[in-house]
Amino acid sequence: MRGSSSGPAEGLRAVLKQAFHEGAEEIPFIPVSALRGDNVVEHSPDMAWYDGPALHEALGALDEPARPLENPFRLPIYRDYERGNVAAGVVEAGVVCEGDSVLVSPPGAIGQITSMECWGERVARAGPREDVGMRIKGVHRRFLKKGFVVSHPESAPPVAKELVGRVRVLSPRGLWPGFCPIIYCHQARAPCRVEAVLRKLDPRTGDVVEGRPGSLSRGEVGDVLLRPLVPEQRGLVVEAHEHIPALGRFALRASLGSGRGSITVAIGRCLEVRPARA
């Protein structure tokens, strides 16, 4: 945001940096008024202090993100239906076609896609970033649940027995071995336990500053070993961030107590998955 870069924009950039967001300095922050149309299509005379792009101009200047077409097919389910073997989700990687055999993880159920729809239109093929609903023959609807992941059988993702994640702690309560937060990853969530804090890192350089620290405090970055506390048939599907980024980002949240809601304790990326099945 030109003209007021020391205001809310810098605060938001700081949050994005904490979330390991690359290129936060290049993100424009645009003041708009939807009610009056200020800075939506054209610059507003009521905001003379701002000399950056209008929203329409900034959207037109965006580069289309790379679509991971060559990666294995991954579709985390975000919605299932009571009637019919239908699951809906956004394709995060790879390509899927009508007639393909697919596997639903973690239950390991195998079926065949008989039809697909995207925004009400029948499609024969779907790729990254496309929001599709698919009817899967041969898979009982109890295996089509939010957080489960649809893939091709020959390249199925792992169900995690344990995972190593690089986290940044956001909560004053910190993070320590034995702590049991809820892990949120793509559309899935599961209780987990911090088995160990493996190392503390310099957040600027990534260098190890301490091995096996007793805990991580607010603002600190480190690598932790996490164990999902769910049966394998309802386990957590997660992948290394460098392989499938959309399935490798997570947040750790914990309850504040009865009626007080919850708080984000840490955010992170998966570095390694130790699968439940070899």
Position 63 pLDDT exceeds 50:
yes
- Using one digit for the tens of pLDDT, what is the confidence trace for 123-168? 999 999 999 999 999 998 889 999 999 999 999 999 999 999 999 9
Q: What angle do CA 250, 256, 260 make, to 5 degrees?
A: 115
> Is residue 138 domain-shared with residue 172, that is, in the same domain?
no
- Confirm whether 65 is domain-assigned: no
- Confirm whether 173 is domain-assigned: yes
Position 5 pLDDT exceeds 50:
no
> Is residue 164 domain-shared with residue 150, that is, in the same domain?
no
pLDDT given at position 80: 79
- Confirm whether 24 is domain-assigned: yes
CA dihedral 216, 217, 219, 221 (to 10 degrees): -10
> Is residue 181 domain-shared with residue 137, that is, in the same domain?
no
Burial class (CB in 10 A: 0-12, 13-18, 19+), 193: middle
Residue 55 structural domain: 8-60
> Is residue 50 domain-shared with residue 106, that is, in the same domain?
no
Place of tokens 């904490």: 18
- Using one digit for the tens of pLDDT, what is the confidence trace for 224-251? 999 999 998 889 999 999 999 999 999 9
User: Are 1 and 49 a contacting pair, CB within 8 Å?
Assistant: no
Closest CA to 266 of 224, 208, 210, 205: 224
Asked if residue 172 has a cis previous peptide bond (ω within 30° of 0), the answer is no
User: CA-to-CA distance for 52 and 30, rounded, in angstroms?
Assistant: 7
CATH of the domain at 269: 2.40.30.10
The SS3 of residue 183 is strand
- Confirm whether 70 is domain-assigned: no
The whole-chain average pLDDT of the chain stands at 90
> Is residue 142 domain-shared with residue 167, that is, in the same domain?
no
Domains held by the chain: number? 3
pLDDT given at position 21: 62
User: Are 57 and 51 a contacting pair, CB within 8 Å?
Assistant: no
> Is residue 130 domain-shared with residue 235, that is, in the same domain?
no
Averaged pLDDT for residues 198-214:
92
Structure token digits, residue 190: 């599961």
User: Which residues have CB under 8 Å from 83's CB, separation 6+?
Assistant: none
> Is residue 107 domain-shared with residue 175, that is, in the same domain?
no
Tell me the whole-structure pTM to 2 decimals.
0.84
User: Are 104 and 134 a contacting pair, CB within 8 Å?
Assistant: no
The SS3 of residue 247 is helix
- Confirm whether 189 is domain-assigned: yes
Structure token digits, residue 10: 């810098």
